[in-house]
Amino acid sequence: MSQFPIINTTLASIEASPQVRQVLHHLHTQALSEDPFLGGGGPTDGALDKFVALDPDKCALVYLLLRSTGARFVIEAGTSFGLSTIYLALAVGQNAGLEKSSGGGKVIATENEPTKAVQARRNWKNAGSEVEEWIELREGDLRETLEEGLPEEVDFLLLDIWSPLALPTLILVHPHLRIGATVVVDNNIAAASGYKDLTAYLENPANGFKMTTAPYSGGLLIAVYIGAGKL
């Protein structure tokens, strides 16, 4: 039995092999055992050895959102040690398996810190092909790595990143979002001041989004792209 019951609840929400479940249980236990990361003066200040990962209940919701919408092309801004990426890739692989003739699927993960990228790849390898084969990791400044080579239609964007980089990321991905695509932003209440510009962009009717905030710890913003000029 886990020392963190929320982990068991989360793992009960997903379809996964024992191998993937074991990796997720281990990573969640590590992440929850850390002191909370409150942020700093920059994108990596004080966070180089921190998971800075989605909470388990948020991971479960993201996985279920992906499965319910059939999402196959996903971008994750802020991969860290790759914990939430496992949920994304698991869902994408399962969705692609249901649509074998429709062009597969991919999770484009982004990470600027080389040491975190190395550990993320190790974690995905430990999870196995059920996860690893669906991930493309782009290392470096995402304002550069996401400038080109994005899927024609993106189904889902996860923004779990230093807040000033959230809007530049969305602006890069926005032209590729399909109608009905979902954008999820972690800690939008806890870091409200940092997300002010992003929130204003999402609230502008000209940009074509509708959004709400789920009452998870720190807040979890969920926006749907309905298209510019749509009701």
Average pLDDT, the chain: 91
Does some domain include residue 230? no
pLDDT tens across 57-85, in order? 999 999 999 999 999 999 999 999 999 99
Does some domain include residue 26? yes
pLDDT tens across 150-168, in order? 999 999 999 999 999 999 9
Residue 94: band (very low, low, confident or very high) from pLDDT cuts 50, 70, 90: very high
CA distance linking residue 88 with residue 73, whole number of Å = 10
Mean pLDDT to the nearest integer, 113-137: 97
The domain that holds 159 is classified in CATH as 3.40.50.150
User: pTM for this one?
Assistant: 0.92
pLDDT of amino acid 34: 74
pLDDT of amino acid 103: 77
* Calculated CA dihedral for residues 55, 58, 62, 63, nearest 10 degrees: 70
Give, in order, the Cα–Cα distances in Å from 51 to each of 27, 48, 136, 161, 174: 9, 8, 20, 12, 27
Mean pLDDT to the nearest integer, 193-219: 97
Q: Beta-strand (E) ranges in the chain? A: 73-77, 106-111, 135-139, 154-159, 177-186, 209-214, 220-225
Q: How many domains does the chain have?
A: 1
For residue 204, what are the domain limits?
A: 5-225
Does some domain include residue 68? yes
